Amino acid sequence: MKTEKKSRMQRLFEKGEFVVTAELGPPKSLDFSVLDRKIDLLSGVVDAVNLTDNQTAIARISSIAAGLYVMKAGLEPVIQMACRDRNRLAIQADLLGACLHGITNVLCLTGDHQCMGNHPGAKHVFDIDSIQLIQIVKNMRDKGVFQNGDEIRNSKKSDLFPPYFFIGGAANPFAEPFEWRVSRLEKKIEAGIDFIQTQCIYDMDRFGQWMKEVVDRGLHKKAKIMAGITPIKSLGMARYMRDNVAGVTVPDSVIQRMEKVENVKEEGIKFAVEQIRQFREMEGIAGVHIMAIEWEDAVKGMVESSGLLPRPKVS
Residues that bind other proteins (CB under 8 A): 83-84, 88, 110-113, 115-116, 124, 126-132, 135-136, 147, 170-172, 174-177, 180, 183-184, 186-187, 190-191, 199, 246-247
Nearer Cβ to other proteins, position 190 or 274?
190
Nearer Cβ to other proteins, position 127 or 213?
127
State the Cα–Cα distance between residues 71 and 65, nearest whole angstrom. 10
Nearest approach, Cβ of residue 179 and other proteins (Å): 8
The residue type of 87 is: N
Nearer Cβ to other proteins, position 170 or 286?
170
Neighbours of 170 (CB within 10 A): 20
State the Cα–Cα distance between residues 210 and 186, nearest whole angstrom. 12
Strand, helix or coil for residue 80: strand
Nearest approach, Cβ of residue 273 and other proteins (Å): 25
State the Cα–Cα distance between residues 180 and 184, nearest whole angstrom. 6
Beta bridge partners, 261, equal: none
Contacts of 231 (CB under 8 A, 6+ apart): 268, 269, 271, 272, 290, 292, 295, 298, 302
Cβ atoms of residues 103 and 68 within 8 Å? yes
State the Cα–Cα distance between residues 208 and 259, nearest whole angstrom. 24
Nearest approach, Cβ of residue 241 and other proteins (Å): 12
Helices (H) and strands (E) in the chain, counts: 11, 8
Nearest approach, Cβ of residue 266 and other proteins (Å): 30
Nearest approach, Cβ of residue 129 and other proteins (Å): 5
Cα torsion angle, 191, 195, 199, 205, sign: positive
Nearer Cβ to other proteins, position 228 or 231?
228
Nearest approach, Cβ of residue 88 and other proteins (Å): 6
Nearer Cβ to other proteins, position 43 or 56?
56
Phi, psi of 238 (to 5 degrees): -60, -40
Nearest approach, Cβ of residue 195 and other proteins (Å): 16
Nearer Cβ to other proteins, position 88 or 265?
88
Nearer Cβ to other proteins, position 176 or 216?
176
Nearest approach, Cβ of residue 183 and other proteins (Å): 6
Nearer Cβ to other proteins, position 7 or 52?
52
How big is the chain, counted in residues? 315
- Supply the DSSP symbol for 124: P
State the Cα–Cα distance between residues 146 and 12, nearest whole angstrom. 29
Cα torsion angle, 128, 134, 138, 141, sign: positive
